[in-house]
Each structure stands twice: as C-alpha cells, then as structure tokens.
Amino acid sequence: MIDKLDYQATFDCVQCGYCLPVCPTYIAFKNEKHSPRGRINLVKLVAEEKLEIADMEEGIDLCLGCRACETICPTNVRYGDILMSAVEVIKENKDMTLKEKGIRTGAFKLALKNKRVIRMMNKGLYFYQKSGLSKTVSKSGLLKPLPKYNDLNKAMPDVILSERITNNINPFRKKDIQVGFFQGCIMDAFFKRINDLAVKIMEKHDVQVTNIKKQTCCGALQHHAGEHDMTVVQAMKNIEAYEKYDFDYIVNTIGGCGATLREYPKLFEEGSVWHGRAVKFTEKVRDISEIMSMLHLEMTEPVNMNAVYQPSCHLEHVQQVFKDPMNMINNVPGLKYIDMQDKSLCCGSAGVYNIVHFDESMQILDLKMRNVKTARPTLIITSNPGCHIQMQLGLEREGMSDEVLVKHLVEVVAEACNIS
C-alpha cells in the first residue's frame, strides 16, 4: 500500500490547517474528514495499514479536486498527487456502482476518446435544442423520475453544430505568434461558439492559429476517475500530435483541460523519453487569457454590465493563472467589476462531480450562490465549461436566470472587440 499511495508526499503536510478555510467541502460538510489535512492523514494511515481502504473512501470520493489547498499551502504539499493515488487505489479495490458505471463507461471509454462520437453528441444536442424538444422536456416534466436533474437540463447551453476540424493555416499571411489550438471535448460539444470566438480574437490580432486534426481528449475526466492507463494513452496521442508542429504556444479556453495538459509530465517517469517530450509540450500550454493579455486587443465596444468573475479552480490552483483574466476583465470598456466574496471557492461542478455527487454538489453551489446574491451582478464571467453550466444551474435554482447572464471570458472580450 505504501508504494501505491503517494506516501512520501504525505510527510510534507505539517497539519497546520491553513487549507481548512479554503476547502469548499470542509466549509459545506463541516467535518475534518472532508478537509485536505484530514484526507492527507487518512491516506497516510491507509498507507501504513492502520486503516482500511474503505475508511478513506468517503473522504476521497467527496473531494472536488479543486486544489485550492495547494495554492494556500505554506509547505507546498502535492495534494493533487496524493489525491490521485488514493482515487486509483480506491478504484482498484471497489466495483463501481451501476449508476457510476453507466455514466463513466459511457463518457470515458466511448465518447471522450472518440471525436466522431463527440460530434454525434453535439449533433444530438443541437437537434434536441433546435427542435424545441428541450423546452418540451423542461416543461412537461418528462424527466420526472429524476426531478433533481431538471435544472441541470435547463442549464445546458445552446449548442452550435460542430464541424469537422479544419486546418486554418493560411500560407500567404505571416503572423507574429504561431499557436496550436486545443479545443477540448466538452467545450467543443457544448460551447463550440466560444472556441470559434477565441480563434477569431486571436486571428484578428495577428496570431496564426492552427487547429490540428490528431488532437484528442486531454484525459482529465479519466484521470480524475483513477483511469491512469487511459490517461497516459490520451497524453501520448496529444503530445505526438502537437510536437509535429513548431508552435509558440498550445492554447485552450478550458481551465480544467489546460490544467491536465500542464500536468502531463507527472504521468511519466522522470528521466524517461516520454517525460522529456511531455515537459516540452507542457512548456507551450497557455490559457486563452494569457494569450489575450499578450496582445494589444482593440476593445472598442462597451459591455455595460456589472460582472463577477468565477475563476476555474484548475486555471488558478493548477495552472496558477490569476492575473491575466483579471487584466482582461478590468480592460473591457463599460464593464463594472464587482469583487465577489470567496470568488476562488469552487462552485461544485468539478468534472463529473455534479452528476455523480449531485446533492453534495448542490450544497457547495448554494454556498457560491449566497455570495453571488450579495454581489448582485448582471453577468457571471467563467473560464471553464463545467463552471459555466454549474453557474447557469445555480441561477436556475435561485430563479435568477432572467436577470443574470453567464459568459465565458472569451465571449465578453469578443463582444468588446466587436467580433461575433
């Protein structure tokens, strides 16, 4: 057990408790077992075989993996590594419940790996919404057996029909910055519009954007579910695909995927060839906000709204991108920024957490919505599709969806740049 769990890393924790006030699950569930300090201790005791694996299961299962604890930690504990080692050990030792099995196998083995399936999903969603069926479903209560998913249905974004990836290289235009675009799968299925706008913003400001065919899912959801081997395969495919080009940066619009891309080296043994390739790949990964900050954006159109920013946890705590999105927000003409209390606290979306642990996720979302209500914005700016859907869901639950909009940072900037 000592070898399987990241026992070494648990010794970095001095149990000072700095992580407690930033941990959404500790705040919501009020039990030290649901704090980073508590979880690290459980993992350590399981590694020492003083506790059974089952004893850490609930604590680990209900962790959002937001990693806010890593940013605050004064001794740099590698919490993410400890968590992932525990997830993998639990997964090995437990048959997943049927419910989870349905959701996970469906999502991971088939959909996320296969771009064609994702496009089909996208198509299905598109027609589902276009046909008005989604409204019928929402109104008629067809989803009655699972009424709790009703709001989630309402929170789903309008879908644009995704096209086959096109190669945007234009040999006649020489651009300053060459970037490879990483589109992500959930993003591409549900929020293709945002990806399109991101590309347009970059192209308008003299960035050469290339969208390559051989990219695949970043592997985040598989990784979070403890599917280590599947994650490694995805990572290798992506590294191979992008290293064929001489890009300055590899750009994405998704806080969560970007974080996984930046942690690829952790999947490989240090000193190995693949580790080296992963490091090279990762050095180029940037969030769209970092690229936009480099450019002199022509933001001429005022966006007259009162906005709060709900940062993606993984954009902040894993990618350590804090300033660039704020720079962008502060420079949008007409936009009034409101500093929402505890803005960096996770919204409870966290990959598939809001599906697998719906009730707990809603407890965490309620904490977030309390702060949204106090801030009274007309716009919530996000940087990740999961957070986007979750915030929309929060507004539906609070009956605020008519007064408040949810937009990705890219949409706001595009509006200011008069790009549509």
Q: Which residues bind another protein (CB under 8 A)?
A: 8-9, 11-12, 14-18, 20-21, 30-33, 35, 38, 41-42, 45, 50-51, 54-56, 58-59, 74-76
Smallest gap from Cβ 53 to another protein, in A, equals: 11
Least separation in angstroms between CB 359 and another protein: 15
Which stretches within 93-184 are classed as H helix?
98-104, 115-130, 133-140, 150-155
What would the two tokens of residue 162 be? Answer: 């995704």
Q: DSSP string covering 17-50, please?
A: -TTGGG-HHHHHH--GGGSHHHHHHHHHHHHTTS
Length of the chain: 420
Least Å distance, CB 148 to another protein, is 22
**What distances in angstroms separate CA 37 from CA 3, 8, 83, one per listed residue?**
21, 15, 11
> C-beta of 17: minimal distance to another protein in Å?
5
Residue 362, phi-psi category: left (phi > 0), alpha (psi -120 to 50), beta (remainder): alpha
Smallest separation (angstroms) from another protein to the CB of 91? 18
Give the Cβ contact number of residue 140 at 10 Å.
10
CB 306 within 8 Å of CB 60: no
The two structure tokens encoding residue 5:
């769990």
Tokens 């937009």 correspond to: 407
175 versus 275: smaller Cβ distance to another protein: 275
Strands 306-310 and 336-337: parallel
User: Is 271 or 399 the residue whose CB approaches another protein more closely?
Assistant: 271
Sheet containing 249-252: which strands, arranged edge to edge? 207-211, 177-181, 249-252, 285-287
If the CB atoms of residues 29 and 249 are measured against another protein, the closer one turns out to be: 29
122, 192 contact by CB (below 8 A): yes
Distance of alpha carbon 43 from alpha carbon 40, whole angstroms = 5
For residues 41 and 390, which CB has a smaller minimum distance to another protein in the complex?
41
Q: What are phi and psi of 127, to 5 degrees?
A: -70, -35
Residues in CB range of 412: below 8 A, 6 or more apart: 303, 307, 328, 329, 332, 335, 379, 381
Residue 311 and residue 313: Cα distance in Å, rounded?
A: 6
| Smallest gap from residue 340 Cβ to another protein (A) | 17
Which residue number, 126 or 322, has a Cβ lying nearer to another protein? 322
For the record, the structure tokens of 59 come out as 């604590």
Nearer to another protein, 14 or 110 (CB): 14
Nearer to another protein, 59 or 385 (CB): 59
Least distance from another protein to the Cβ atom of residue 63, Å: 13
Beta carbon of residue 30, minimum distance to another protein (angstroms, whole number): 5
Nearer to another protein, 27 or 103 (CB): 27
* Nearest distance from C-beta of residue 55 to another protein, angstroms: 4
Rounded CA separation 121/73 (Å)? 40
Joined together, the tokens standing for residue 88 give: 């993998």
Nearer to another protein, 87 or 197 (CB): 87
3-state secondary structure 241-258: HHHCCCCCEEEECCHHHH
In the complex with another protein, the residue whose CB is nearer, 77 or 218, is 77
Least Å distance, CB 54 to another protein, is: 8
